[in-house]
Copies of this chain bind each other. A is one copy, B any other.
Amino acid sequence: MAKSKFLNSTDAVNAIINEAIPLFAKAGFTGVSMRDIAQAVGISTASLYHHFPDKQTLYLRSIAQAFADKAQGISTVLAKKGTPEQRLTKFIARFTKLMSQDSHFRMLFQRELLDGDETRLRLLAEQVFQPQFVNVAKLAKELIPNGDAHLMVISISGLVLFHLETTPLRQFLQGGRAEHNDPDVIARHVTTLLLKGIKGCG
């Protein structure tokens, strides 16, 4: 019988984190026990403590990994050529697709907005969002030179993310249809709204 389930510690750590991320995303820090994680990985609870000193560290490593994965993805989202309007359109399409692809990052992000302390939120801001935030802010300045770029980037992100956040709720609200969960539909709606506004004069 095989004694070691993984060839080396790194593989075990990665396997644990990969199992922990969806669990923490779905139930939150207090909603997941070390036994839940151990069972998902297929090892004993005590083994977890061979690789991580405590639950908090395992959680922090898990969100750091989930955020690092996404930070890499976000860095390729902003197009470099075309008019500002074209680049905004492309950004929204890619950002919407990226965020809807796996819900775990988005749920962990939402949970951190609720539960994260200053240290964790600072990490999230600086390590994950900052690089592209700056680029999108520049794009916003091109589009509205006199506007507040910070507010603008938050609004653009919020438009996309709120549609995704409310997916489980919207089916119970008037006019909710399955196609509203399609990233392309969301991206097109958001882009049109931003570019033309309500007046539709664009």
Residues in chain B near residue A157, CB distance under 8 A: 162
Residues in chain B near residue A168, CB distance under 8 A: 113, 116, 121
Is B199 a contact of A151 with CB atoms below 8 Å?
no
A15 at the interface (CB under 8 A from B): no
Residues in chain B near residue A176, CB distance under 8 A: 150
Binds B, one of A2-10, A40-48, A59-67, A187-195: A187-195
Residues in chain B near residue A197, CB distance under 8 A: 193-199, 201-202
Interface members, chain A 106-124 (any B CB < 8 Å): 107, 110-111, 113-116, 121-122, 124
Q: A161: nearest residue on chain B (CB-CB)? A: B162
Binds B, one of A70-78, A93-101, A127-135: A127-135
Is A173 a contact of B30 with CB atoms below 8 Å?
no
Bitwise interface map of A from 8 to 32 toward B, beta carbon under 8 Å scored 1, else 0 = 0000000000000000000111110
Chain A: interface residue count, which band? 35 or more
Is A175 a contact of B148 with CB atoms below 8 Å?
yes
Is A155 a contact of B200 with CB atoms below 8 Å?
no
A170 at the interface (CB under 8 A from B): yes
A–B pairs, 11, beta carbons within 8 Å: A30-B30, A122-B172, A125-B172, A148-B180, A151-B163, A154-B170, A155-B163, A158-B161, A195-B199, A197-B197, A197-B201
Q: A113-B168, A148-B189, A197-B201 are in contact. List 11 more A-B contacts (CB 8 A).
A: A30-B31, A111-B114, A113-B165, A121-B169, A122-B172, A130-B172, A137-B174, A144-B198, A151-B163, A193-B194, A201-B202
**Residues of A with Cβ closer than 8 Å to B?**
27-31, 85, 88, 107, 110-111, 113-116, 121-122, 124-126, 129-130, 133-134, 137, 143-144, 148-155, 157-159, 161-163, 165-166, 168-170, 172-177, 180, 185-186, 189-190, 193-202
